[in-house]
Amino acid sequence: MYSWYRSTTPGGRRAFVATFGGWALEAADAQIFGLVLPTLMALWHLSEGQAGLLASATLVCTALGGWLAGFASDRWGRVRVLQVTIAWYAVATALVGFAGGFESLLVLRCLQGFGFGGEWAAGAVLISEYVSTRYRGRVLGAVQSGWAVGWGVALVAFSAAFSLLPATWAWRVMFWLGVLPALLVVLIRRGVGDPPVYRREREPVSWTGIFRPGLARVTIFGALLGLGSHGGYYALTTFLRKTRGLTVLSTTGYLAVFITAAFAGYVVSGIMSDRVGRRKNIIGFAVLCLLSLVPFLLLPLNNAGMLVASAPLGFFSAGMPGGLGALFAELFPTEVRGSGQGFCYNLGRIVSAAFPAAVGFLSAEIGLAASIAVFAGAAYLLAIVAACCLPETRTAGLPDLADPSTAAPHTVSR
């Protein structure tokens, strides 16, 4: 990745900074809610059902925002949509700090979600078109690692705010700080332009373009891959939050281990994607995700044991989405690349919104551990099957570029 960064154009370097920064700051804004939710539940006497509705509604709106932003980036430009989505979620996050109760919080969280989903869709397609095939996997993996960085930033801000301020004000200050990503829009407006391949290849598009003959099969299996990746992740995190009365998830030590492992997982997945291929990398991480769950299901771990076992789980669960960006970019031609990436990556978020409730329902019949095993196993098996049904794109690269693994990042063929 560093070789690419040194050799690419100034526009490519600025695009990387913008997309990495946008993803990291989005992660910080997104993680704030999970950190302050216990405080809100205590202050406003929210029920578990209301807390679950807030999480599910945000996921659904995030998915819808990703689809819409992907299509918009094809029609109106990658950079313009990236600017709008970053400004959108920054302002919406700050407004959450003024919420006065459950109803207003629900509305504002939904508005946040639209911006969250849109930022990834626009940012991922932007940087994927600046990067040559040789480095695309590791660069997209590095961009994804920004999520772990943003998570860490949110954790530090949370610790500082709740140490210095009373809880009634600390949670509001946390959200007000979420307006800071809007400053990134200034950088993007000053120095980042749409990739040459997009400017040369753009054509009028329809929102149904990803289902046209020749692309429908790729779109369907790509969406199933996204569903399996997200579904498995949400099944695993549901287990960690509910099993054995676990409290370690809310501790700084656990989160530090998990976040560090996740950062490494994103980066390593990107490198392996370039070395062994997009499909093999994704399949390998899916299998390892299931294996890393075994200690949690079979061993009587205490909080110290959970701390140790969380490292491989964080690494492998991050590696799955870390490998999706390059594959999805290379599956679709330029005129529908944003639409395709946005749809495939985000479909799983809608379905995953129902996972916590489904896990709870099944666990009443067969137990929580068995229920998680069923859902996580089904999700990652679906991801493996879907990956096997998609073409390997590492050597072909973007459909509109001629041999990008050896050509300059902006080489284009008609």
Predicted pLDDT at 239: 61
Q: What's residue 222's pLDDT?
A: 95
Per-residue pLDDT of the chain (414 residues; tens, 9 = 90+): 667 887 788 888 888 988 998 899 888 888 888 889 889 999 999 987 888 788 888 888 988 999 899 999 999 999 999 999 999 989 999 999 999 999 999 999 999 989 888 888 899 999 999 998 899 999 999 999 999 999 899 988 998 999 999 999 999 999 998 888 888 887 787 778 899 888 887 776 777 889 999 899 999 999 999 999 888 777 766 666 655 444 444 556 777 888 899 999 999 999 999 999 999 999 999 999 888 877 777 777 777 777 787 788 889 989 988 999 999 999 999 999 999 999 998 887 777 767 666 766 777 777 767 777 788 888 889 999 999 999 999 988 787 654 333 333 333 332
Cα separations in angstroms, 168 against 43, 162, 216, 232, 250: 8, 9, 50, 35, 19
Query: Which amino acid, residue 110?
Result: C
What was the pLDDT predicted at 278?
A: 95
Helices (H), 165-277: 167-176, 182-191, 196-201, 216-242, 252-276
pLDDT attached to residue 407:
37
Joined together, the tokens standing for residue 2 give 């560093």
Q: Which residue has the tokens 């970019």?
A: 329
41, 58, 63, 342, 364 from 354: Cα distances, Å: 21, 12, 13, 20, 16
Burial class (CB in 10 A: 0-12, 13-18, 19+), 249: middle
Q: Which domains does the chain have, with CATH numbers?
A: 9-195 (1.20.1250.20), 208-395 (1.20.1250.20)
How big, in percent rounded to 5, are the helix, strand and coil portions of the chain?
80, 0, 20
H or E, element range at 134? helix 133-164
CA distances from 403 to 11, 124, 313 (A): 21, 21, 36
DSSP 277: -
